[in-house]
Structure 1
């Protein structure tokens, strides 16, 4: 009899009761273990690994133990997953479909101890889908009730929990002022009004040794102790809590808590912030902004300054100009660098790779929180996930203020780029706590190479594949269309290459080089149409080939991005 390897997965939505010697997770595991033992005659055997998620919602797959379980399933280590109830696995129908697909690929089944389900037949799947539909409905109704309750409470001016803003401490359903911290908040507002620049205020605070006060959350976790960052100051200066107000979904309510600053001071600071923002927006509309200005350095610590060059568009009816942006070594910009030294980096290519690198971090909220040394309560996970999703979308659109608020430094090394993210700023952006032992900076290193393809400059991975999603090259697409059109013309009109060259007044050898592109391997054509070809595959490369290999395998070896 073959051995059937069984893994038990347990989950509890809240942390309540987890500190007990025998909690809900233990009860679930005990029931599942007893069921597996009852099937010993069928060869069932319990694996020793524990897959327990305590205090995590079933509405998301972002659960550490579940991820370990799926990894082991994909590795072929598990034959059957045993759960107490199906909703312990997931409460989302969409997530359930993803799990079943993973199970099917690995040949893994799952069993519910208290419900009779067999995922190996269609009736079992139908029953499961119906049950999960009700579970998802229940979760959505519960979420709606919670949202309505929060909205009603905020309309009454209540504080609905979470980490209290600096200057306050929780006081039942309200906030109480912490005098020494409130004085610091008033100073920050007044000093910003006097200076008018958040970056300069950050530099002054750092030079004075002013640090974020250390506070202890209700859970016993310590936060603060680091220097103030730009993102954190922006969050403080624009937080209406300090005015004694509660904002919720665009509406303003009078809070039950006492204000720290006056209405006059608040209005002046908001007007100054708005003026600065509008100034940046006007610049952005008229001139493509350099998102990383003041943040880029080479491996020797020399800064790269943002600059641009304009070129007349010869084919433009209006005689307009094309603007090319760069990050250039300061010594090279000032003319003090020797010829051949220094760095001249295309701005758009660098900004794309930095935005994509940061966006990939936001794609995995739990991993990002862990790496940065941040601390989020289970009740905050949905809020954090939504904030991360929004940040990732904005970063990929290249329109996110997150970039300037979070990034401390971008260092260009040989064959790699290091992006340094301020963990204090990240914690402030996600509105969660930072652990006392958390690093000041989260360093993200990417191995890349700079390649030029025609007039396009891109960063590519070591294998030659573009690092970021790219648009198809218009000249390549146009060349492929021309190749197909000429080939059809030759077939329909029974023309030779020489006759076709005479008809179009081009050289015969050019016709031959274009026509042979009809015989490119389909995978290569697919990559070119998707903009995913290797950086060195351009019009010049294709037309400059002395001969094109006949076998598709040989072509793919030459040109296919890995």
Structure 2
């Protein structure tokens, strides 16, 4: 079986189709050698550094190779495999142990010590060249920044336009974009003089139809916050605000980001005193800029005070039954309350247009917090006042857990793992048959896709069985703990404090689903039929679903 591996380091190279030129050269070489390449055996990492081994397609290549699915591997050059000699040596040794022959287009691998030494030297020179380029680039930027050159900075911020260095020798510079500069000054005045919140500034800009740097009419809060922090607007742009460090361990990937980071490093902020300032035209006075920083710091202090502890009883449990986004607690301002007692609503995130480019994605109703809190607490109290129900649920969960141990673990999971092993062997035999010419490409490709699909389904079933067992154990522990707890607090449920209420609710209630005409309380255990419908879901309808009009 023949495979190829190609890689480019930057997103710009990927956009310029540099990786396509590598693939074309490799395909031409494979065809010239009389070999056949199938689409599934092309491993391409576009825009990922060669300084790391954690690359999605390289990982897939190594996994496929370990199963014996590759005999011949084509690569343009050793530095496409890795920029570091140690990594090159590791990969070449790994491929050799498996029995894979590696062919570089610009370097023929021989069997003599001299040939091996030449390959090693190429790897070391590639690593040295990369380090040299990075160091020259770093020192060159540092020297130009200290000389006051703006071309070391990234793209010009909103309110400016970048002018390249001219052929007559005139240096690169920032010039003021008059239309955008008016918006920048207005933002600083709203925060520094009128003491508005960033959220209110965002709404004003969006309502006025003012476009962002990218042409959008919806202003994200983080964009405005970044502008207010940028010292370029008071005439002192900063170079060196961040630095690269060794990559930190990531607990989970950011939303809409790949699980495998493209860069082998992390970025950290640098202390302000270590920044290098570069003079640019000022859009606001230094006094106004510093006033805005004080206001932002004050806002941060107030936000931290507001965030201490949970503000709402069902915080984190309420979800929209239509768009499945979370509900959050939204307090009514004193002016809107018109002198009445302060109150709040649970509100669906999907109804906030500013979060989705100015357009709502959900029209579900908001609901008064005290009404929903009261209904859910009544359901929980009714359950806790009848410990015999918990005891019955305790016994039922125990029986289910014992049955699962006998059936799921010993039968289902073991059977699924046997099926997976059988399919893995069948996949290896199929690849061997194709490599030996016993089946042609037209028969091979649909069969290999079908096998991969079956293996994926079985992996999902194995994971589901294991997840089910963990859930049963967790529920068993919850019910057994609550059985004792119910007997202890049965006499004092009416006078219990806020934090204890939250703890009890979170132990018994899995989630609260809000629909337009009803509310479903999904319990972790199954209450009696007089309280709920099927599967531990209690449904409430009627006047609870009152709402009011609010701006998006």
> Scaled by the length of structure 2, what TM-score is found?
0.46
More strand by share: 1
Query: Quick one: higher RCO (CA 8 Å, sep 6+), 1 or 2?
Result: 2
Q: Larger Rg: 1 or 2?
A: 2
